[in-house]
Structure 1
Amino acid sequence: MDQIDLDLLATLEADARLSFAELAERHGLSKTPVWKRVKAMEEAGAIRGYAAQLDAAALGFGIEAFVQVTLQSDAAERFEAVVMAHPAVRRCHATTGAGDYLLHVLCRDIAMMDRLLRREIARMPGVVRTETIVSTRTVKDRHSLASAAKALGKG
């Protein structure tokens, strides 16, 4: 992956709806080489897909929280299967440190958060302990991975 690829990725991160012609024009290239580069990055897995970015608040989710979960030692696979299917869990990360997993959850209100924590997450397979941190506001939501790769000398 070279500097041109990283520049193309940064542009696609900002607006994935651009046509190959528009993408080529922005970077002073012709359409065919841009198309080939983008296809190669898709095949290599650098581009995992294209999606609309939705606003959680506009969709009625007023509470965003992070739940650290500690499990019994033999419950990871069962826990992960339940988490994968749960609609309120936006992201799940296996972690090091005091907890085993960090869940990023969205809820409509505090009542929904209470139900989620007490009736659902606490009852997931192997859960021993949870600790919840509620986000009061988002300071930074996204950062360009292509820009980070450029800054770290990938390109």
Structure 2
Amino acid sequence: MDQVDLALLKSLEHNARLSFAELADAQGMSKTPIWKRVKALEEAGVITGYEARLAPKAMGFGLSAFVEVVLDFESSDAFETAVARHPSIWRCHATTGDADYLLQLFARDMDDMDKLIRAEIARFPGVRRTSTTVVTRSIKENQSLAALAQTR
């Protein structure tokens, strides 16, 4: 991946609706080589898709939280299946440290969050303990991976 690829990726991260003509103009190139580069990045799995970013609050989700989950190791497959099927779990990561998993959730309000954690997630297979941290405000979101790659 060269600097042109990274510049293309940075542009697409910022606005995935840019046309090949706009991408080409920004790089001082013609559309065909830009199209070939983008297609190559897609085929290599660097670009995994294009999506609209939605604002949780505008969608009625006024609360965000991170939930650390400790579980019985032998239940990890069943737990991961339950997580994958649950629509309210935004993200899930297997982690090292005190917890086995870190979940990111969105809820409408505190009652909704409480129900989601105590009545649903805490009852997933193998869950021994959860610890919740509620987000009060977001400082940084949507960091550019292309910009990070340029610094490394």
Q: Work out whether the TM-score is over 0.5.
A: yes
Alpha-carbon shift at residue 144 of structure 1 (Å):
0.5
- One-letter code aligned to 2:71: L
Tell me which residue corresponds to 1:121. Answer: 121
* Structure 1 residue 97: Cα displacement: 0.4
Matches of 2:73 and 2:48, distance apart in 1: 32
Superimposed CA distance per residue, residues 89-140 of structure 1 (whole angstroms, 9 cap, x where no aligned partner)? 0000000001100000000001101101110011000000000000000000
| Structure whose residues are more often helix by fraction | 2
Q: What secondary structure sits across from 2:58 in the alignment?
A: coil
Shift of 1:63: 0.4
Alignment partners' CA distance in 1, 2:121 and 2:16: 35
Query: 2:118 & 2:55 partners in 1: Cα distance?
Result: 26
Partner of 1:103: 103
Amino acid at match of 1:64: S
Show the counterpart of 1:69: 69
Residue ranges of structure 2 left out of the alignment (5+ in a row): none
TM value normalised by structure 1: 0.97
Alignment of 1:5-20 (within 5 A): 5-20=5-20
Please list every run of 5 or more consecutive structure 1 residues that lacks an aligned counterpart in the other structure: none
Q: Distance in 2 between matches of 1:122 and 1:143?
A: 31
Match of residue 84 from structure 1: 84
DSSP 3-state at the match of 1:115: helix
Report the identity percentage.
57
What does residue 148 of structure 1 align with? 148
How many aligned residue pairs are there? 152
Q: Which runs of 4+ in 1 moved over 3 A?
A: none
SS of corresponding position for 1:97: coil
| Code of the aligned partner of 1:20 | F
Shift of 1:26: 1.1
TM-score normalized by structure 2? 0.99
Equivalent-residue separation in structure 1 for 2:104 and 2:73 (angstroms): 22
> Root-mean-square deviation (CA), in Å?
0.4
